[in-house]
Structure 1
Amino acid sequence: MYLPNSKWTWLFVMTAVIQAAVILGLEAYVFADFQLHLHSFSDSASSSKTIPTFLSLYIFGFVYELILVYDALRLKNTIQIIGLCFCNIGLLIYGGLQIEQATQEENLWRQTKGIMIAIPCIIAFSSTFLIFVAWKLYDEFAWTIYKHISADLRMKRRYLTYQIYIALLKFDFFFFLGFTVQFVVIVTGKTDVEFALTLAAIPVTILILFFAAYFTRRENTLGMCAVILLYFGGLAYFLFKLVRMYQPSRAPEYIAARRSLTFFAVITILLILATIANAIACTINFHKGLKPHVMRPRKSTDDEKATELGTRVPGEGVPSRMMID
């Protein structure tokens, strides 16, 4: 499916691509420098796991963000576009945590100080521009959603709830995966059972998120109830981990990445709470006429223009739009 052909769409894409290319290049340099000088670090045993995990996860974050940018624009999902702006701010905060981690290794910090400081600055500038372009895209895509859903305000709100829920699922995946990877690689003192269960949770989570979207589109109430129960299980898991990493008896196991794990755990908990609320709202909206709009494929840009030209009454000008409030 092609992207909408507008200047704001391409500005959003170009900003995200340029940001990712620059940050990935800088991160790759830091990663290579770290690997080449690993022997000179004061605590190479700990650093050999912690710092590469930070860098790799950061790199993956920007690659995943690019995928979501394409997905949001092709679907004209204004909610996901707004979510990407917040995600970029989250990556900015994570860049600050990366600086804190690098300062613990004097040699690495001395060699890459300028790059480490430049990365959050670049992301901050990009985030500001992305927010501005997202605002323009919000105006641009509102008319498309109006034509797709009709002027029924209640139906439009149901569709908005659905859009928020689907966008949340995509961000849930990244933050859950980010926490799990750090836990598996960095945290010490794990039992074999705990390690195996944590690894097994990754494919299970992917399946849960897939069926969560599937049951919502198909308006399967029983399936959604099961998914919501699983969300509560995930919420309990992250609350347990968050408390556990600050227990005096277990703190040494988490100390190497506790700030980063805390960041991911808190964000994931907030996302799960929002996901549960929207999952319940979507379930309440089942069998109220939204399904045909969700299942029906969007028209292409050319088709939309043709429809608009074909249905417009001469002399009336451009039809009024209804914004998603």
Structure 2
Amino acid sequence: MYMPNSKWTWSFTGISVAQCIVALVLEAYVFGEFQASLELANKKRPSAAMTIPTYLAIFIFGFIYELGLVWDALRLKNTIQVIGICMYNLGLLIYAAVEMDQVDDAIKNLVRDGDIHADVWTHLRPFLVAAPCVIALGTLLLSFVAWKLYDEFAWSIYKHISADLRLKRRYLTYQIYIALLKFDFFFFLGFTVQFLVVVEDTPNVEFYITIAAIPVTIALLFFAAFCVRRETKTGHIACIIVYFAAMAYFIFKLVRMYHSTARRELAYKAGRPSLTTFAILTLLLLVVTIGTAFACLGNFGKGLKPHIQKRKVPDADDLKYSNYGGSEHFNGPPHQLGQVPNRMTID
């Protein structure tokens, strides 16, 4: 298992872990206070009462998933994924800011119905303000360290791919696509979980189809990564078609949230701001994913495949004490056109 081996990789890991711990402690306190203030007795739990538990679940999964992405990015020396983690952190910041208004609205509805203590918002507000502040600080620190990591990883990737500018661009496109798949998964799952928990009176067919979409999405993302690494055109094109179908699904959900029957709009009301945030972010990611997928398709058969058979870029020590990148050693099976030239080429 790869472990950080420099002060900047350790810093990136440490900041991510510290941010995760502090943010989750704040969210856990908010959840505990909120639950303790509820006065539902034997009443059915309204959707407004599910707002904070759902947010807490999304934050727990979001930060744990981010730690996994951090480990994966450092292991693979994927600078694109490191930058993506900073943007992902920014997405969590937006979500934390949206949460404050959502919780305020939910508490007002519960107070109106006599389901919660009237002064609970006064106790929770400082912690709800602190959460985005912690994430904002984490985003700034991670962005600075990411800039340092970019320089640190540059030489390893240079030796891994050679100095061919065209091949380096193809490898960069591949890295972007793989990173996008990982972020697509989180935002799709985040939207789905909120939809299942917060939205009331969902028709049975739609409810079960939404549940079934979760394992299908996981399988699709693994399949998409497999196809791009093996340069399987048929499978890759099939994945692009599914991406378009996913875009249609999220557009349909957005339209339904804001332009539907009064009853359906009321069912979406409790979670509409956060669902809208996740839907729009997922749509934007899908647009970029589709564009990158077409770029990867255009790079098939152009010499990149041997370089990505082994996903891990060699460490600096591996490069120093081996002939990696020389004429005798090559990462992956020999390409039919011969080894990639080591001299710089001009496009």
TM over 0.5: yes
Shift of 1:295: 0.4
From 274, 295, 302, the counterpart of 2:309: 295
How many residues are treated as equivalent by the alignment?
312
1:71-107 deviation line (CA, Å, top 9, x unaligned): 1011110000101001111111111111112222154
In 1, Cα distance between the equivalents of 2:45 and 2:237? Answer: 48
Runs ≥4 in structure 1, deviation > 4 angstroms?
Answer: 40-44, 308-311
Gaps of 5+ in 2: 108-117, 327-343
Aligned to 1:84: 85
Q: 1:161-172 maps to which residues of 2 (within 5 A)? A: 161-172=173-184
In 1, Cα distance between the equivalents of 2:51 and 2:144? Answer: 35
Q: Which amino acid aligns with 2:11?
A: L
In 1, Cα distance between the equivalents of 2:323 and 2:16? Answer: 31
Q: Which amino acid aligns with 2:23?
A: I
Q: Which amino acid aligns with 2:92?
A: L
TM score, norm. by length of structure 1:
0.91
Gaps of 5+ in 1: 312-321
From 119, 137, 146, the counterpart of 1:125: 137
Aligned to 2:113: none
Matched, 1:66 2:80: no
1:40-92 deviation line (CA, Å, top 9, x unaligned): 79995223322211121112111111110111011110000101001111111
Contact residue 49 and residue 186 of structure 1 kept, 8 A: yes
1:219-249 deviation line (CA, Å, top 9, x unaligned): 0000101111111111100011111100151
Aligned to 2:273: 259
> Greater helix share, 1 or 2?
1
1:266-304 deviation line (CA, Å, top 9, x unaligned): 000011111111111111111111000000353244312
Aligned to 1:26: 26
Shift of 1:162: 0.3
Contact residue 69 and residue 84 of structure 1 kept, 8 A: yes
CA RMSD, aligned part only?
Answer: 2.1
From 107, 122, 125, the counterpart of 1:113: 125
In 2, Cα distance between the equivalents of 1:46 and 1:110? Answer: 21
Q: Which amino acid aligns with 2:67?
A: L
SS in 1 for 2:294: helix
TM score, norm. by length of structure 2:
0.86
Matched, 1:13 2:13: yes
In 2, Cα distance between the equivalents of 1:18 and 1:97? Answer: 22
Q: Which moved more, 1:262-271 or 1:186-195?
A: 186-195
From 135, 142, 148, the counterpart of 2:147: 135
In structure 2, do the counterparts of structure 1 residues 289 and 309 end up closer, same or farther at CA, with 3 Å as the change threshold?
A: closer
Contact residue 168 and residue 275 of structure 1 kept, 8 A: yes
Could you tell me the percent identity over the aligned residues? 58
